[in-house]
Every structure is written in structure tokens, then in C-alpha cells.
Structure 1
């Protein structure tokens, strides 16, 4: 199939090169196409800046099948925007091997968004291309950015073919009905390019990012996955799946080629490792170090663990924090306390769909989102910790900052703390405490917090 494509390209090129007039016409068409794409992107100039609010993970594992998910999410984007969400993260949108049942993490045809009859269905699990475009348009209309979940380590659904490099046949013959990004054994590991690879996933064919053909189709050429998703489908940013499976330069080159907010899923609880990867890739990373320290703190009943190392403490501009996601949801008893932590500290916090829409108190989550967007600014000083209590101060940036008091015990707690506010009346913006004390001239004040709860204090 690859040879036929190249022959066709050569024939077309020779035919057009015989006429200077035709060549000029091609150039004009390309310029018009670029202008058209620029206009599409320009229409998104009114979007909220990603990172100034809160991200919504707009799915969970095994959302209802049947092609209704895009419509379900579209119905919610207005309310999410009103609550202070600035971006929604969608699951992988292209057709995968398991067709109508797949969550998209076993990609087959990167350019089938629910319009080709292959892999057992026309629509994806989530819906049709028309419904996806409608959702993205509605999100943009309420100033929300849309983040694409991109799976570029492994592919599935290929047919069996001989592998001349290993002598063993494998499922690497990909012939997608979209007619784009055909793949063969030369595009996967192991192949004739003997470059080390970070790791395979689940036994799937593993894309070789060192191959120019793969680079072209993923991010370089005008009709690449990256450029098509951004310019034609309307995505504004990227969540890179399983980045342990390839080198950081891949994400860096993708980001440098097309732009957009980018965050990688480097599943590792070591803050230094996350800092290394995000620095090498020059993008953000999910703060798994923060996640595991919160797990220790709230499920392990030791809030002293919140003093430990996290990406948000090393490089807050690169830290995307979360309490739960589609892969891991282990914080149960202290989940609202964990949300209070990430919404009052550095980093770009994420809300998990089921926490927001099904499991937790939406009013309280909206209150924490408001606190994050309006009060949580500046550097952090930890004022007090023990196994049950945690108190920290945000020093403010274009605002007065805040003090957060988290209590994991079964009784009310109160403590004197030193604030940044002299002779100021303050209040608990969560409404959990009725106190409205005045800070002393020396900035000290006594604050309180209910059992198994939190309070957030700032000037009135």
C-alpha cells in the first residue's frame, strides 16, 4: 500500500510540474488553505486561558456505550463554564480496535471520529464525528478549551503480516478506511532502525517515533494527526497517554510544531522524576507525587505526608494536580479534603467527572473552584501539621491570599495562626465556620474547622 501511495504522489508531481501555471495555482490553494485554518483558530481567541481555572476530566472508565457521550457532555459545558472550569479533557476520540465498546486507548484509525464502518461500528463508543464537532463548538461558545487525549505509543487492530526484521509475523498491517496513516512493520518496534524504546504496552504494536514517516503523520506534515486535530476538529491542547513508552523529545517536538497546552501522563510517584520529565519535554505533567502523598495523608491518616516532595512544590507551573481519574481512584474517606488541598495550593487542578456529577457535593466543589480561581494565589507557607491537622497560607498574587485549615480528626479543632493581614476582619469562605474574627495588629488570629472537614479563610 505504501509503494502505491508513493507512485501516485510521483505521478501527480510530474504531471503538475509540467505546467508552471498549474504549480502557481497549487501554491495559491495552499495559501488559501493556511488562511482558512488561521481564521478557524482565530475564532477561539475568546477562550479562557488554560491553567487560570480548573480542568474537567469529562469522562470516566466505561462511560455508557451507545454513542451518546458527546451529547451528554455538550449538555453540561455551559454549567461547567459558569462554575469556573476553563478546559475539558475528552477521552481518545478516534476509532479503536474494539469499535463501539472501546474507550479509545487501543487506537486503529486516527482519522475516524465515528464516520467509517470499521472495527464493528460506524460511531465510536462516544458518538459520531458530527456530534464531536458539535460538542467542541459548544464548548468554544462558552469559552472552554478542549483537550484531546492522544495515544501515540501503541496501536491495535492491524492485520497479521511477515516481519523481515524479526522473522516472526505480527499484527502491524494497518489499512484504515480514512485512507490516512497506513502503517506496516517498518513503522513499529522492532524494525530496521535499532533505536532504544522506552517500553511496549500490553503487547500491542509499538510505534517507532524515530521513523520519519511516523513523525510526518503524527505531527509534522500539514495533514498530520496533530494539525488535523487542532485545525480541523478544533482541539486546543493535548493530554499525552503513557509517556513512559517513548522519549520526552517526542512530546517536545509535537508541542513545538503545533502548540497548545500539553500535559503528559508519566505515572510515577517520585517528584524528582516528574520534574525531570516535564523539563525534558517542556510541558506539564500530572502530579502523581501529590496524588500518592494525599493518599498517604487522607487514607493513611497522616497529614504530615502533605509536607513531602511533590511536583507542585518543585515546579508549580508544570504540575497538573488531581484527586481521581479514570485509571486510579483510591482516596475515599478524605476525598473532599483532598480537593480542598489541590484547590488551595499551587498547580493546575483537575476535577473528575464522577466526583463532580455523581459522587460528591457539587455545591461544595463549586465553592472550592471559586476559591481556587479568586483567592488561591502566590507562594505557600505551611503553618502547622500533625497527623490530623494541616494549615497552610497562600501569600496572594493580585489578591489577599488565603489560609486553608484541613482537619482529618473526629472533633472540632482551632488554632492561633499568623496571617498576612493586620487588623482585618476575615471569614471562612467555605461557610463551614460562622466565625468572622478580626486579626490582631500583629496579624495573629484564631481560626477553627469542623471534624473531617476544612475551612478557607481570607479577608472579608
Structure 2
């Protein structure tokens, strides 16, 4: 029987910009596998505006830390060879690698160009607030350090449909580029009237040459890296039909097991469902709805009704297409989508994504190892490790929910014969000390169960009818399970496989 899979986002916004991150990943690959991680989502691998750029201010898609451009050969994370070595080390240790792709915009152009634009209202991009006029925009990309190696494609203002800076007048705004067949794309999110434009020079996916080049690049990147999948950034701003075409072509090029997950940052469940429909379920999406539920629960404390935590979430409606997460680089303090889950609820939030039957959970580097920046926070390795162990060894079998109280909820996983001693009982409280009487099965009668988190110290005896009363501390989580041992005192659990496997989450 295949074990549960777990993804790790292997970066946070303030990872040190010293070029050592790819080497860090290479060195840590064996340890990550021991921690029961199966896949890593790595940050953007392409050259940004400087060696400090996180990769989301993308400059040259074909420069993976190979060419002297923007004052540096390496990216923030290291050189191309260090990247390839890190990916190889991950795969040798049975870790899949998903590369982060930024395809919405380009930044750090090499030259300015003169062209006509119409300024639009920043809060309603369908509202034009000027007549056409000339600006000087940073839209010409010639890549002098790379030349025509890998691609001869050079970008100019005709390949974009918007920008945000007029060098001629030294002012910012949202400027829609004027030209034949130029407009915002209609197949995007409808926030601000039309949310095609996000930042920098906005790539125009109505341009046939752009579509062709970006698909060619996507294939080149996958083949160059030998990675196992992609994470697609900011796809609510990109022509949805192109995203579908791109995903289809990547899977055709790299094989049916090539995994793709998209960042469609909307808490509106209906919008996420419609997007999946448009893409014929070719990709998964991060469950933003659940993230905001977890955030609200952490902020509201006992006033939040825990029995509703999964209502109107993607993992509830589309479990096979949902990547669940607690926090990420954008939700951490002082970042664009700040919605940081409070410390007291963090372990409970991870139990809600790691120990359930549904969803493909993703652990955040910043939660595990800590975050830097203006609001540094220590990592919660001690809180997350027992949950990772429980996910790998215990969280299997039929799931039964006891979501019948606003402040104390629980569920059980009955376990499976193929994994000896599997099965768990989870209880979460956001109020006072609580308990749940739950059934783990008559076949478990007489077993002594302990709290794997260490939050409770007693042992619970399973009754003859398979029921037991499982306690939990106030504002906490307890994960109860039977820790069986063989005659030599070793756990009867299968070792982690050394093969990367994308087929099940």
C-alpha cells in the first residue's frame, strides 16, 4: 500500500540572499526524506532583477544562474549547476521537485521604448481615464549577457499589454498599451473590473508569438531541470485558456505523471471551481478558502465555530484537486497577502491538513524552520514533526468525523490492515479543556493509546465496544494512537521509499 504523500514549500520570503539555498536543499535532501517529505516546491529558478530578487521579479526565463546579467551570475539561491545538483540529490532520495513558474510579467528591462498607452483607473481597469498618449516604458528585453543561447526571442512593448511606470514623466499608474488587437484579456479574474494587470510589464497572451515562446520555454525548462512538476504563480491574472494549453503541453511533453499545481488566490470557492472546470481538472489548486478559514479560526479563538472549518473549502468540494496549506511566503507577516495563522493555533491547523483523508498537504518552510524579515518567528519543528510521523504511519483508513461542537471537534481514521498499528483519533479545542467520545473500532478493544504530540501525558484504554473518551487541552490538539512494537522493540512500519512518486497524494 502506498503511503500518504506530503509536500514542503522549501523557501520563505526572507531566505538569506547569499546564493546558498540550492546547496542547502542538496545537503538536506536525505533529512527531508527521513522527515516523511515526498516532494519539494522550490522558489523561482530564473534570473530576477538582482541577486536579491526572490525570483518573482523575473527578468530572463532562460537564465537559471548561468549568465552575468543584472550584476550577477547566480540568482538569489545559487548557480545553475548548484540548482541541477540539488534537484538530482532530491530525486536520488526519493523526493519529487516542483519548480515555481512566474509567467504573468517581466521586470528589469534592458531598454526603454516610446509607445502609446491609455491610463485606466487602478480600482477599475475597465475605466479609461485618459486619451491615448506617449510614454517611455521599460519594455525592451535583449538579454545582452545571454545573447541568443537557448532562445533568440527578444521582448518589446508589442509583447505586453500594460505597464506601471512612465519614465518620460517619472510617474506610476496602470497604463494599457495601445495597438492593434491590444486590450486586457477577458479570460482572467474580474477583481478591479479586470485583473489581467498585476505588476511590471504585463505579458500579453493574446499574442500568438508570446504563447508559442512561453510553451517552448516551459518544455525547455522541464527538460533542462528534469523536474517532476510545476507550481504556476498568479494564474488568476493569466489568460485561463492559455493556462489550460500550457498545462496540456507540459504533460504531453513530460508525461502523465508530471504534476502541476496553480496559485489561484481567491477565497471564493465558486471562482476556484469555475477555474478548474475551465482547465478540465488538468491541474490542482492551493486551497485558499481553507487557509482563510484557518486564519479566521486563529484570530477569533473560541468565537470561531470549529464545526464549520471545512465548509465552503476546495478540499471539501474537490478533494482530489486541493493542495492544503497553513501559510506560505505571501501570507507571512508584512507580505502582499499577509494572513498569518496565530502561533497558538498553528499545530491544530497542521493537524487539520496533515491527518485528514482529503487533500495534498503542503508544509511551509517558514513554519518548520522559521522566518526572517521585520517580524521574525522561530520554526515549529517540534510541533510539526509528530504530525508528519502520524501522517506517514497512522493516518489511514475510513475517516469518521465528530464535528458536533463549536469549540471541540474530532475525527478518527480506522487504520488499514496493510499498515500495522495504523489508525488515529484527533481532538482539537479552541476553547476550554475538552474531550470526545469516539469509536476507533471493536478490533482495537483493550489497546492503550497515547497522545503523539505529547500535549497530554496519560494513556487511554479502548473499550470493548471500540469507543474511548479522548481528552484535549484548551486551545490545543491531541493525536491519539497505538504505538505498537515488535518483539525487538521496533515499530512495525515500512520504511520510506527511495523513489519519487507523483501518482498519489
TM-score bracket, normalised by the shorter chain, equals 0.7 to 0.9
8 Å contact kept, 2:307–2:403 = no
Select between 197-206 and 328-337 the one with higher mean Cα deviation: 197-206
Correspondent of 2:459 among 420, 431, 435: 435
Q: Secondary structure at the match of 1:75?
A: helix
Name 1:235's counterpart in structure 2.
227
Which consecutive unaligned segments of at least 5 residues does structure 2 have?
118-131, 162-176, 189-194, 252-257, 333-339, 371-377, 485-505
1:375 to partner: Cα distance: 3.0
Three-state SS of the structure 2 residue aligned to 1:162 is: strand
Counterparts of 2:403 and 2:101 in 1: how far apart (Å)? 41
The whole-number CA distance in structure 2 between the counterparts of 1:427 and 1:249 is 51
Asked whether the equivalents of residues 415 and 446 of structure 1 are also in contact (C-alpha less than 8 Å), the reply is yes
Deviations 1:110-144 (A, max 9, x none): 01111211112221111111111111111111111
Query: Is 2:369 the partner of 1:357?
Result: yes
Cα distance, 1:200 vs structure 2: 4.2
Name the residue aligned to 1:148: 99
1:292 aligns with 2:292: yes
Counterparts of 1:292-371 in structure 2 under 5 Å? 292-301=292-301, 302=304, 303-329=306-332, 330-332=340-342, 333-345=344-356, 346-358=358-370, 359-371=378-390
Q: Quick check: which one's strand share is greater?
A: 2
Distance apart, 1:316 and its partner CA: 0.7
Whether 1:418 aligns to 2:423 is no
Change (3 A) 1:262 1:297: same
2:391 is the alignment partner of 1:393: no
**Does the C-alpha gap of structure 1 residues 404 and 352 become closer, same or farther in structure 2, counting only changes over 3 Å?**
same
* Gap regions ≥5 residues in structure 1: 1-48
Aligned residue for 2:478?
A: 455
Q: Deviations over 1:292-351 (max 9, x none)?
A: 111122321122341422100001111111111001031122111111111112211111
**Are residues 125 and 366 of structure 1, via their aligned partners in 2, closer, same or farther at CA, if it must alter by over 3 Å?**
same
Query: How do 1:66-85 residues align onto structure 2 when only pairs under 5 Å count?
Result: 66-85=18-37
TM-score, normalised with respect to structure 2: 0.74
Any idea what SS the aligned residue of 2:115 has?
coil
8 Å contact kept, 1:426–1:439: no
- 2:244 corresponds in structure 1 to 252
- Find 2:402's aligned residue among 375, 383, 396: 383
CA separation in 1, counterparts of 2:15 and 2:180?
A: 40
Q: CA RMSD in A?
A: 2.4
Residue of structure 2 equivalent to 1:30: none
Residue 265 (structure 1) aligns with: 263
Residues 201 and 90 (structure 1 numbering): CA distance in 2 closer, same or farther, change over 3 Å?
Answer: farther
The CA deviation string for residues 199-228 of structure 1, in whole angstroms up to 9 with x for no partner, is 344541111122221122211xxxx22112
Q: What is the SS of the residue equivalent to 1:415? A: strand
The Cα offsets for residues 55-87 of structure 1, whole Å up to 9 and x where unpaired, read as 111111121112122112222111111111111
In 1, Cα distance between equivalents of 2:237 and 2:444: 55
In structure 2, what is the Cα distance between the partners aligned to 1:117 and 1:431? 49
Pairing 1:182–2:154 present: yes
Native 8 Å contact 1:114 1:129 kept in 2: yes
Alpha-carbon separation, structure 1, partners of 2:184 and 2:43: 29
Q: Tell me how far 1:354 sits from its aligned partner.
A: 2.1
2:309 counterpart SS class? helix
